[in-house]
Structure 1
Amino acid sequence: MSTDKRLDGRVAVVTGASRGIGYATALALAKAGAHVVATGRTQGGLEELDDAIKSAGGSATLAPFDIADFDAIDRLGAALYQRFGKLDALVANAGMLGSLTPLGHIEPKDWDKLVAVNLTANWRLIRSLDPLLRASGAGRAVFLTSSAVHKDRAYWGGYAVTKAGVEALARSYAAETAANTAVRVMLVNPGPLRTAMRAKAMPGEDPATLKTPADLAPKIVALCAPDWSETGRLYDFPSDRVLGFNPPS
């Protein structure tokens, strides 16, 4: 297990933790000393994560639910308040690609699901968990976005629109918490990584040419640490740079 215990005694929620970026981030947070509250739809994936965290000497609480179950998000906030009275870090990772198709061809039910998972759920997380983040001495919120927001790529409209909403949501939340609170809010663009979502979007791509979620995870851990001071900005993993309000080039 890592000797870096910068998050010792801290509580972190990771959504979409049953695989991919969420899984790797939850494991890295636990190795850094955080107690991880891992949410996700796949019970088996969460149990595998729990085994990995325990093998590394860490601790976790599993909260299996669909991120579009908004009542479950409210119950999560209530349970965290009752057990811990605070939340030190939120990694809002859960998301879906949706259909890569012309905007006019997206079925209304599919559009509604995409907005619910990628955007509304993140607002509901803020609504439920903001008081707990404010109760921390150094609350940190990290939202996953995508370069698709700024590339104007045909057929990616549903995904790009919802991720653009996430960026506006996170930056608004950062502006609201910048003064008189210890909450700091960051966006992360992971770029192309070896994930199931990437394989679905780019089926002809050789995954061996891509970095992995485990490569990104330590960077997210750093954004969750008490010594991270910037807010309302975007960490771009492909360039390893923190950017301001202008989109990545």
Structure 2
Amino acid sequence: MQPYSPAPDLLRDRVILITGAGDGIGRCLARACATYGATVVLLGRTIKKLEAVYDEIEQAGHPQPALYPLNLEGASPKDYSDLAAAIDSNFGRLDGLVHNAGWVGALTPLANYDLEMWFRVMQTNLNAPFMMTHELLGLLNRANDASVIFTTDAVADAGKAYYGAYAVAKGGVQVMAKMLAEEVEANTHIRVNTIDPGPVRTNLRIRTYPGMEPEVWPLPDSIIDTYLYLLGPDSREVRGQLLHAQH
């Protein structure tokens, strides 16, 4: 992706849901979307973190965001149906959906992988994005220019040893995103793409690479323009693509 400079009103009047909005990339993206005019639905499992992002956005004078606490690991189909109903009641549509939340789980050989851990990691990284998207497609279809962004990781392409369920889930996300992009292209205004953020200084990466100094990785703010590009009208013709975030 080439360097991108968003227009000041890029996301004006858009309603955008971001998962994992309380920390890392999600937090930075939520603040950026609000800065460019969007009403952001902050979804995550830790209320205190979500409230902190909410306060930052409100104090900056941007459109008032909405809070939606939800633990993706334990969420049921009804939880996602309730989420769709809440967005419908408050906004009537959804212009953007960013699947940012992720959890590595454990780095261990497949032969030693705990079966319960496998289920939990797959639930968070693959099943949750599917179920959420499934329930929100109707609201996305009401928007004139809706964008769905899935998040992947290079470990999925590499089949990197020891990444277990996380790498398998991210590989599944890539397939799901391409499949959905083809299915909705012909008869909806929904476009679906995938982003690989690359190495970014987040808590997830710091925990995964405890032997490295966090300062070697760029801050999440450095990749946000890639997300803004896909969420805004400048990428209307971009569908079914995997973009590597531009630092």
Query: Structure 2: which amino acid aligns with 1:61?
Result: A
Deviation digits for residues 100-140 of structure 1 (CA, Å, limit 9, x no counterpart): 00112111111110111000001111111101111100010
- Alignment partner, residue 207 of structure 2: 200
Question: Which of 213, 218, 237 is the aligned partner of 2:245?
Answer: 237
Is 2:26 aligned against 1:19?
Answer: no
Is 2:112 aligned against 1:105?
Answer: yes
Contact preservation (8 Å) 2:102, 2:124: yes
Question: Post-superposition shift, 1:152?
Answer: 2.3
Q: Which runs of 5+ in 2 are unaligned?
A: 1-5
Question: Which of 168, 171, 178 is the aligned partner of 2:178?
Answer: 171
Contact preservation (8 Å) 1:67, 1:73: no
Question: Which of 64, 67, 70 is the aligned partner of 1:62?
Answer: 67
Query: Structure 1: which amino acid aligns with 2:20?
Result: G
- Alignment partner, residue 3 of structure 2: none
- Alignment partner, residue 82 of structure 1: 89
Question: Post-superposition shift, 1:221?
Answer: 1.3
Counterparts of 2:34 and 2:12, CA distance in 1 = 9
Deviation digits for residues 126-158 of structure 1 (CA, Å, limit 9, x no counterpart): 111101111100010001100001112211122
Q: Which runs of 5+ in 1 are unaligned?
A: 241-249
Counterparts of 1:36 and 1:168, CA distance in 2 = 27
4+ residue runs over 6 A deviation = none
In the superposition, the TM-score normalised over structure 1's length comes to 0.92
Contact preservation (8 Å) 1:36, 1:60: yes
In the superposition, the TM-score normalised over structure 2's length comes to 0.93
- Alignment partner, residue 56 of structure 2: 52
Deviation digits for residues 147-175 of structure 1 (CA, Å, limit 9, x no counterpart): 00111221112211000011111111101
Counterparts of 1:66 and 1:85, CA distance in 2 = 24
- Alignment partner, residue 121 of structure 2: 114
- Alignment partner, residue 150 of structure 1: 157
Query: Structure 2: which amino acid aligns with 1:233?
Result: Q
Query: Structure 1: which amino acid aligns with 2:30?
Result: A
Query: Structure 2: which amino acid aligns with 1:42?
Result: T
- Alignment partner, residue 42 of structure 1: 46
Question: Post-superposition shift, 1:179?
Answer: 1.1
Counterparts of 1:203 and 1:61, CA distance in 2 = 34
SS of the equivalent of 1:118 reads: helix
Counterparts of 1:182 and 1:212, CA distance in 2 = 33
SS of the equivalent of 1:227 reads: helix
Question: Post-superposition shift, 1:181?
Answer: 1.2
Question: Post-superposition shift, 1:218?
Answer: 2.2
Question: Post-superposition shift, 1:3?
Answer: 7.5
Instruction: Tell me the matched-pair count.
Output: 238
SS of the equivalent of 2:242 reads: strand
Query: Structure 2: which amino acid aligns with 1:77?
Result: A
Counterparts of 1:74 and 1:215, CA distance in 2 = 34
- Alignment partner, residue 184 of structure 1: 191
Counterparts of 2:59 and 2:226, CA distance in 1 = 22
SS of the equivalent of 2:148 reads: strand
Contact preservation (8 Å) 1:167, 1:187: yes
Higher mean alpha-carbon deviation, 51-60 vs 26-35, is at: 51-60
Contact preservation (8 Å) 2:11, 2:36: yes
Counterparts of 1:18 and 1:9, CA distance in 2 = 22
Counterparts of 1:31 and 1:55, CA distance in 2 = 12
Query: Structure 2: which amino acid aligns with 1:23?
Result: R
- Alignment partner, residue 29 of structure 1: 33
Two-structure CA RMSD over aligned residues (Å): 1.4
Contact preservation (8 Å) 2:113, 2:164: no
